Amino acid sequence: MSFNLRCDTASDGDNAWPYRLHRVVETIRRAQPLIIGSQEGQHHMLEGLARELPEYGYVGTGREGETNGEYCAIWYKKSEVEIVDEGQFWLSEQPQRPGSKSWDSSLPRICTWARMRYLRDSRRPEWFVYNTHLDHVGPIAREKGITLIWDSIREQTEAAKIPALLTGDLNDYPDSPVVRFLRGEIELEGRRAKLFDAYSLLGTAIGGTFHGFRGGSEGEPIDYIFATPGAAIIAVDIDRGLADGGYPSDHYPVLAEVKL
């Protein structure tokens, strides 16, 4: 699952976090994802989710460093998955400096990653998960940031010889340079990615994933799930359902079934 949680903003009124935490919990319990890449979660939001969903653990830090700022957390079912390794880098010219930003980015942006092992299979297969939230203002920052992410995916998967998944709010539509780059259709910064877009499985229009608490399916998606070769996405869905009569977030969660 890729799920932009919408940060805790008092101006959201009845849709502010304290009034919809239970809706997020209900949405996750209904879907029972093994892994969740969440965006916009602040530390107190994530800790609240962890209390309500004790079967899940998460990794990641805030984009301002330590517990400060929004996270791109990666959640996992503790009874089925263990973390082998994990880390985080900033989408900037100083990727190891917390809080750093570059180019035309309006805010510090991050990518969190985890190397995971599946416990319920005697083969104990491993894979990487990357989770990000690209800048909503700067097109150069989105393009530079996604090439940094691809460089990390390529380097780690080739070294470990295991597949990877990428989840995230890319703040870009399917015909954008960022998404076309990930699908391997164009080059950016002299690079060409090789990822499978889960939406390619849909035979109909995808529809929007951001809805501003208004609902509906108009528009185009900005939330995605991708996979490298070796991680076969066999189904995808956008969960546009209500929870307790309301929406859990201003984004719909995206779900994919993956065969390793």
- Domain map (residue ranges) of the chain: 2-259
pLDDT at 37: 99
Q: Is the dihedral of CA 225, 231, 232, 235 positive or negative?
A: negative
Beta strands in the chain (DSSP E): 2-4, 35-39, 56-59, 74-77, 81-90, 110-118, 126-133, 164-169, 196-197, 223-227, 232-238, 254-259
Instruction: Look at residues 249, 245, 244 and name the one whose alpha carbon lies nearest to residue 222.
Output: 249
pLDDT at 204: 87
Give the dihedral of Cα atoms 157, 154, 255, 181; nearest 10 deg: -160
Contacts for 60-65 with beta carbons within 8 Å, 24 or more apart?
60/86, 60/88, 60/112, 60/131, 61/88, 61/98, 61/112, 63/90, 63/98, 63/99, 63/107, 63/108, 63/109, 63/110, 64/98, 64/99, 64/108, 65/98, 65/99
Q: How do residues 117-169 score in pLDDT, each as one tens digit? A: 999 988 899 999 999 999 999 999 999 999 999 999 999 999 999 999 999 99
Tokens of 123: 């083969």
pLDDT at 122: 87
Q: What single DSSP character describes residue 66? A: T
Its pTM stands at 0.98
pLDDT at 203: 86
Question: Which residues of the chain fall short of a pLDDT of 70?
Answer: none
Q: How do residues 190-199 score in pLDDT, each as one tens digit? A: 999 999 999 9
Topology annotation, domain 2-259:
Deoxyribonuclease I; Chain A (3.60.10)
pLDDT at 107: 98
pLDDT at 2: 99
Task: Look at residue 201 and give its three-state secondary structure.
Answer: helix
Beta bridge partners of 65: 68
